[in-house]
């Protein structure tokens, strides 16, 4: 079985490389919906699962590993900023305030004979 990291994140690739395992990086092309009405922990897990499932559909005989990280503060969920201005705004809101950084992980084992 081959290992697939369902993420193009440089940091996740770096962490995965530390395991010593040989792996392939695959962009999941999964459309994250940050507007879903879920508690932050469930949302991170849901988005991670979506990424893994999108890649698992394309790769048999593989172990697919994905993750999704969100930041939560006062009931608001922050995803990846879409611009430098948005990143600056996020940092201004979060700076000096206690907030949560939540990561959901998913591992899917897809045998050769699965559909």
Structure tokens at 18: 């530390």
- SS3 of residue 55 by DSSP: helix
Q: Which residues pair with 77 in a beta bridge?
A: 72
Annotated active-site residue 33? The verdict is no
- As a whole number of angstroms, the distance between CA 35 and CA 75 comes to 12
Among 27, 29, 33, 68, the one annotated catalytic: 68
Structure tokens at 36: 């879903």
The C-alpha torsion from 81 through 74 and 103 to 97, rounded to 10°, is 80
Residues involved in catalysis: 68
């Amino acid at each position: 079985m081959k290992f697939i990291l369902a993420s193009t994140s440089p940091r996740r690739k770096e962490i995965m490389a530390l395991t010593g395992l040989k792996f392939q990086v695959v962009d999941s092309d999964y459309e994250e919906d940050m507007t879903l009405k879920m508690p932050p922990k469930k949302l991170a897990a849901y988005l991670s699962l979506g990424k893994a499932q999108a890649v698992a559909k394309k790769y048999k005989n593989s172990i697919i590993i994905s993750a999704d990280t969100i930041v939560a503060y006062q009931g608001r969920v922050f995803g990846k900023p879409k611009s430098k201005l948005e990143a600056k705004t996020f940092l201004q809101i979060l700076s000096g305030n206690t907030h949560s950084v939540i990561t959901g992980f998913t591992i899917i084992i897809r045998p050769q004979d699965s559909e």
